[in-house]
Amino acid sequence: MADTAPKAPPISSAPASPEPKLTKVREIALPSATLALEAAADDKTLYAACLDGSIQRVDAEGKKAVEIGRHGSYASGVALLPAAGQLVSSGYDGVLHWWDLASGKGVRSVLAHQFWSWDLAASADGRWVASVTGQYRAGSYKYDPAPGTEPSVRVYDAVTGALKHSWEFLPPVQAVAFSPDSRRVAAGNLMGEVAVWDLETGRMVSQWKTDDLTSWGIIKSHHFLGGVFALEFSPDGERLYACGMGPMRDPMAGNGVQRWQSFDWKTGKKLDQTHEGESGQGLMEALAFHPDGKHFVMAGRLFQGTWNLALFDAATGRNRFSIDAHHRITDARFSADGSRLFLAKARQQELKNGRWNEFGLIEIHTVSGLGG
């Protein structure tokens, strides 16, 4: 009699898809907390903006750091202009400095703001440099922010340093980013407001507000806190990502949910955000897309939970890998080939034997298991 029992399907010999993984391979100490980071095209040289005002050139292979310039207050941003062979830096002194990479000498300085420069970005085509500013001052008994005393978003010609655009946007404006095609610039503020401008016409093309990144405290003190701490366009230019921290009842606690959100920047429609149960609590300050365009990292400070650095699938929003990388992470950059992740960090400042420790760090992680 013929065997009519169903046969089990053959066992596939194809290997299982690897899981993503980040592995720390090196750390480089800097004299003070690292607030911003850039990587040269060869990924062998890094540039860091530091709390002591210094701009550091870091040999990523040899672990050496050399100061190439300095601001009068905290250095808050760095942006490379590869075609010009220059680096632009910003600081809490409100100044933008251009540095020649070959000689390390200053090219020009521009007083961009009367208040701090919170964030700095350069367009991919090397044509534009943007800096944002603004001070939170109570505008009424409701403690809503008062209008700014100067334009809070400014865009400069990256080659000449000439001011091209100045826009009023409710301060403080804490984050800025250019679209991949260098045609638009986006900025986000304390109140969770985001705006996008067209760089050719100077017109605002969209504006919206998210209440999911801003807190109004009702415990201990009454004021607004949080807002948008980092912005990043998706590599295809279709989405705009923002990160920060979810609302808190106690604005001093720092225990809001670790949150990113993605938007259709043309309409402001929210498309996705950190999924329920996939994060803990803490302020997120850094966003970076992997060169494959399929993954991004978010990082910052951990209040409670298991991670302060996580890798997400851009299509599904799923948290694919996360670790407690310790210390505050202020910025993140992938290498050009995506094989490494560079992190700017600030660790606890300690006085030992009459000397302060080096409390700035750059960490280098290898990236594996992302698949095709």
Structure tokens at 312: 């997400």
Work out the number of other CB atoms within 10 angstroms of the CB of residue 48: 30
Query: What does 346-372 look like in DSSP terms, one character per residue?
Result: E----EETTEE---EEEEEEEEE----
Q: Which residues pair with 257 in a beta bridge?
A: 281
CA distance 280 to 301: 11
Question: What pLDDT digit, counting tens, does each position of 234-285 carry?
Answer: 999 999 999 999 999 887 788 999 999 999 999 999 999 999 999 999 999 9
| Tens digits of residue pLDDT in 175-217 | 999 999 999 999 999 999 999 999 999 999 999 999 999 998 7
**11, pLDDT greater than 90:** no
Q: Give residue 167's identity as a one-letter amino acid code.
A: W
Interatomic CA distance for residues 67 and 56, integer angstroms: 4
Amino acid, res. 348: Q
What's the pLDDT tens digit per position in 347-368? 988 877 878 888 999 999 999 9
Q: Tokens 């991004």 belong to which residue? A: 296
What pTM did the predictor assign? Answer: 0.93
Q: With beta carbons less than 8 A apart as the criterion, state whether 66 and 87 touch.
A: no
Please say if the pLDDT value at position 9 is more than 50: no
Average pLDDT rounded to a whole number, residues 14-37: 87
Provide the pLDDT for residue 12. Answer: 44
Residues 6+ apart with CB under 8 A from 9: none
Domains along the sequence of the chain with CATH: 21-342+354-368 (2.130.10.10)
For 138, which DSSP code?
B
Whether 301 and 329 have beta carbons less than 8 Å apart is answered as: yes
Residues 98-147 have pLDDT tens digits of 999 999 899 999 999 999 999 999 999 999 999 999 999 999 888 889 99
At a CB cut-off of 8 Å and minimum separation 6, what does 244 contact? 192, 213, 214, 226, 227, 228, 229, 230, 259, 283, 284
